[in-house]
Copies of this chain bind each other. A is one copy, B any other.
Amino acid sequence: MNEAEFVAALRQLPLHPGARGLEDDCAVLEIGGEALILTHDSMAEGTHFSEGADMADVAWKLVAVNLSDLAAKGAQPVGILIGYSLGEDDESFLKGLKEVTETYRVPLLGGDTIKASSARSLGLTAIGRASHTPAPDRRGAQIGDSVYVTGTLGKAMLGFEGDPECLDAYNRPNPRLAEGQVLAPHVNAMMDISDGLLLDAFRMASASKVTLAIESALVPVASPDRRDACLRWGDDYELLFTLPQASEPPVDCTRIGAVEPQGFAALVLDGEPVMNAEGLGYQH
């Protein structure tokens, strides 16, 4: 099975109402008048990090990509649980874990440490508290909204390729926690960009049952000569969101398009309809 087939099968199981139909990156658990935000992302050696990767960077990224999911919900981090496989360079992993948990002030709640016999998979569950309810949803984009993105896309791609200026963008992404909390009361839809702007915009449009029309020339990119690659590569962990047309965005960001009535394509790029998500970005 591929990921889409597996997730479709999971949707046939008993789902918690807070699972949002498994269409979002996080679950929202309402309890005692609060809304907890829960997310779990895994990283596998050979798929998400290479055998020779600095385990301090791996630890940073494992935590940061989960915090990025919390950021897209406007949540404040409460704590993390870690599923760790012992192996090479555990000391470096601990060093990176210390750095990232101190930087984002997210304490350890618990987890599990195992010995695995081969390539390692690491898992992390991050828990946050919604700063504003209802927590933003990728399903909320409204016709007439403007579409915005934070930051500059493509830096992670350049970092992966070895550009010394961009190594940290790839190895040590910064989750947009502050921006997410400021934006949460204002946005109609929000998500983080982990798999490339185009693929994630396609997903937001599909989940919201609208069309997102994006002008590629408006998107801030790290390498204008390779604009298309910057829009597709992913791993940037910026925020993609929509605001009512008359709203002034409360954070530093760029308007890159508009929300239109649902047409026959979920995404319109520079006036051209994009019919399906195949090849749009990084599917993993």
Give A residues with C-beta under 8 Å from B.
1-3, 6-7, 9-10, 12-16, 18-19, 22, 24, 26-27, 29, 31-34, 36, 38-48, 78-79, 81-86, 90-91, 94, 97-98, 101-102, 105-121, 123, 125, 127, 129, 284
Contacts and interface: CB of A to CB of B under 8 A. Distances in A.
A38 B106 CA distance: 16
Copies of this polypeptide in the complex: 2
Contacts of A115: 3, 44, 47, 284
Given A94-B9, A117-B47, A129 B3 contact: no
Contact of A40 (B121, B123, B284): B123
B6 A109 contact: no
The 4 closest A-B pairs by CB, nearest first: A32-B32, A46-B117, A123-B123, A121-B121
Contacts of A108: 10, 13-16, 19, 22
B90 A46 contact: no
A116 B116 contact: no
A119 B118 CA distance: 6
Contact of A29 (B1, B24, B78): B78
A160 to B, nearest CB: 18
Contacts of A9: 90-91, 94
